[in-house]
């Protein structure tokens, strides 16, 4: 059913992330052709021959058999880093990730100057959501081998997930510039460039990826998004159809295609596709007839209900499920951003970034993104966005509050002051604003204005809620008054 989410309010494109499993498997050594026999007894006392038999089985895709040979070789020679590495790669392929991690760590322990196990372990940790831990390993892999393409791609992906598309572009570009770079490197570079708002460069690099691999699903989906944003729905539909031909039963691709049909006004095609997916289409409210405009969401009634649950655990799970069916729905992205803001700022930042990317002119999403940037202490990035928001939406209180904080933390006190004054006029009872006004004047050497604001703050402050600020002011006042008596500081410009 296509329904509408209720009660979606906020206190303030994504391309499909490349499969790290592909990165991991790409790292597996491709052995030369060895003897065709893989009888364990033939080389039972020779760890080198056992290792070669393992590589031979590995190359044929017989992973279980390869693992037996690697483990037999290690049993005979416990300090065998290459066998540990190949054992780790086999365990990854079998989905036995904790064992794979242990094997790769053992390989590193035995041979600290070898780039490959660092790269594979780092990619494995990215895959399991341990990006921070992965980064040190991936950086070491690149230090040992600056041309390790898999490590460069994994590190670019990690930085992109961490909300740092600028550094992601650096590593992705290095990977794309390597000889015979795969399509995935160009797709990743496009993802990072899109995160920086450079859609033209992203489109060029997606085109390059699709020259290398015409059926690359991530490339087709990403280019479809960019074409749709430019209003080229016909070619966006062509890309999604091509992607669906590669994975005919992939409901995520098909629901994206359904949404594209709707955006293109192809209602008959949308109806037919919805029916094949077991969905019904509910028309959105018509804002031209006085009804409040709503955003259409593809999902079951149960998912819609759960997404509005007051329990964050229930709501997040439902929202994630809905996002799989509606990957370009800014409302769902922003709601997830709001949900994660306190307990997972990095994830909140990424969701808000994606929502803002989908609807860059929506001040609510831009404000949410900027607020997440503030929480992540990326004050310069936040200030740039918030300046634009307050111009477009001058009464947006949350935007003004976050802009004041960002400017203050950037030590741009003269710019922060008007924002604090605006906040005070909007909410005169927010007493702590007087403290920040006083502090900003103080930092600027405008001591008399600082004293006036501090004294106003002390008169009105609540000792229970403003204890820290009260103590700071009380410690500062004696020396501030002395500076005023000595006529130090500067006069505030009127």
Q: Would the pLDDT of 387 be above 50?
A: yes
Give me the pLDDT at residue 279, please: 57
Q: Taking residues 51-80, what's their average pLDDT? A: 93
- Model confidence at 91, in pLDDT bands (50, 70, 90)? very high
Q: How many whole angstroms separate alpha carbon 406 and alpha carbon 304?
A: 36
Segment 358-371, tens digit of pLDDT: 777 777 777 887 88
Q: Which of 211-220, 297-306, 352-361 has the highest mean pLDDT?
A: 211-220
Q: Give the Å distances, CA to CA, from 35 to 29, 31, 71, 280.
A: 17, 11, 19, 59
pLDDT computed for residue 99 by the predictor: 94
Q: How far apart are CA 93 and CA 127, in angstroms?
A: 13
The pLDDT, as a whole number, for residue 4 is: 37
Q: What pLDDT is stored for residue 34 in this prediction?
A: 36
Residue 100 has pLDDT above 70, yes or no: yes
> What's the mean per-residue pLDDT of the chain?
81
Residue 390 confidence (pLDDT) above 50:
yes
Mean predicted confidence (pLDDT) in 197-213 = 92
pLDDT at 38 over 60: no
Q: Tell me what the mean pLDDT of segment 195-223 comes to.
A: 91
Q: Are 440 and 416 in contact (CB under 8 A)?
A: yes
Residue ranges and CATH numbers for the domains of the chain are 411-494 (1.25.40.10)
Return the pLDDT at 44.
59
Most confident of 298-302, 398-402, 486-490: 398-402
For residues 232-245, give the mean pLDDT: 92
pLDDT of residue 142: 93
Mean pLDDT, range 179-199, rounded to an integer: 89
Which pLDDT band, with edges at 50, 70 and 90, does 332 fall under? Answer: confident
Q: Is pLDDT larger for residue 5 or for residue 321?
A: 321
At 67, the pLDDT band (50, 70, 90 cuts) reads very high
Residue of higher predicted confidence among 99 and 313: 99
State pLDDT tens for residues 415-470: 889 999 999 888 888 889 999 999 999 999 999 999 999 999 998 888 888 888 99
> What pLDDT, on the 0 to 100 scale, is given for residue 296?
64
Q: Which two tokens stand for residue 262?
A: 């709707």
| Predicted local distance difference test score (pLDDT) of residue 353 | 77
Q: Determine phi and psi for 29, rounding to 5 degrees.
A: -65, 135
Q: Give the pTM.
A: 0.52
More confident site: 287 or 400: 400
Residue 259 pLDDT greater than 80, yes or no: no
The rounded percent of the chain whose pLDDT value lies above 70 is 85
Query: Taking residues 390-406, what's their average pLDDT?
Result: 86
**What local confidence, expressed as pLDDT, does residue 107 receive?**
94
Residue 1 pLDDT > 70: no
CA–CA dist 73, 89 (Å, integer) = 15
Task: Taking the CA atoms of 309, 312, 313 and 317 in sequence, report the sign of the dihedral they define.
Answer: positive
Of 36-45, 190-199, 345-354, the one with minimum mean pLDDT is: 36-45
Output 284 or 60, whichever has higher pLDDT: 60
pLDDT value of residue 208: 94
**Of 142-146, 282-286, 426-430, 470-474, the least confident:** 282-286
């Amino acid at each position: 059913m296509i329904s509408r989410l209720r009660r979606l309010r906020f206190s303030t494109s994504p391309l499909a992330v490349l499969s790290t499993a592909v990165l991991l498997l790409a790292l597996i050594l491709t052995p030369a052709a060895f003897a065709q026999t893989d009888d364990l007894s033939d080389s039972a006392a020779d760890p080198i021959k056992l290792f070669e038999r393992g590589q031979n089985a590995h190359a044929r895709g017989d992973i279980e058999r390869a693992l037996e040979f690697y483990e037999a070789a290690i049993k005979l020679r416990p300090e065998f880093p290459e066998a540990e590495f190949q054992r780790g790669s086999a365990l990854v392929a079998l989905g036995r990730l904790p064992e794979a991690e242990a094997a790769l760590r053992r390989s590193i322990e035995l041979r600290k100057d070898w780039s490959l196990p660092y790269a594979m372990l780092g990619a494995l940790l990215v895959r399991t959501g341990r990006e921070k831990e992965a980064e040190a390993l991936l950086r070491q892999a690149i230090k040992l081998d600056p041309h390790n393409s898999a490590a460069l791609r994994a590190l670019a992906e990690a930085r992109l997930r961490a909300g740092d598309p600028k550094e992601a572009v650096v590593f992705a570009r290095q990977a794309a510039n390597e000889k015979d770079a795969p399509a995935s490197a160009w797709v990743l570079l496009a993802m990072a460039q899109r995160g920086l708002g450079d859609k033209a460069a992203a489109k060029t690099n997606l085109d390059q990826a699709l020259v290398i691999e015409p059926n690359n699903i991530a490339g087709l989906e990403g280019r479809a998004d960019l074409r749709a944003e430019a209003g080229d729905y016909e070619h966006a539909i062509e890309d999604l159809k091509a992607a669906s031909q590669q994975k005919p039963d992939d409901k995520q691709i098909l629901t994206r295609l359904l949404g594209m049909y709707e955006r293109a006004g192809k209602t008959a095609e949308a109806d037919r596709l919805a029916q094949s997916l077991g969905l019904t289409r509910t028309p959105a409210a018509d804002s031209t007839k006085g009804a409040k405009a709503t955003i259409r969401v593809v999902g079951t009634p149960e998912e819609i209900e759960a997404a509005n649950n007051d329990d964050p655990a229930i709501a997040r799970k439902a929202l994630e499920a809905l996002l799989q069916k509606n990957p370009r729905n800014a409302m769902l992205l922003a709601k997830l951003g709001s949900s994660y803001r306190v307990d997972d700022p990095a994830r909140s930042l990424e969701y808000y970034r994606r929502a803002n990317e989908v609807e860059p002119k929506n001040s609510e999403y831009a404000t949410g993104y900027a607020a997440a940037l503030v929480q992540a202490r990326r004050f310069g990035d936040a200030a740039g966005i918030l300046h634009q928001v307050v111009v477009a939406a001058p009464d947006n209180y949350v935007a003004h509050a976050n802009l004041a904080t960002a400017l203050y933390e950037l030590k741009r006190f003269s710019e922060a002051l008007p924002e604090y004054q605006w906040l005070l006029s909007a909410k005169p009872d927010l007493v702590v604003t007087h403290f920040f006004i006083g502090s900003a004047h103080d930092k600027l050497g405008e001591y008399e204005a600082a004293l006036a604001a501090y004294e106003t703050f002390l008169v009105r402050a609540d000792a229970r809620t403003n204890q820290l600020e009260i103590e700071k002011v009380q410690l500062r006042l004696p020396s501030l008054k002395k500076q005023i008596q000595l006529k130090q500081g500067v006069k505030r410009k009127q």
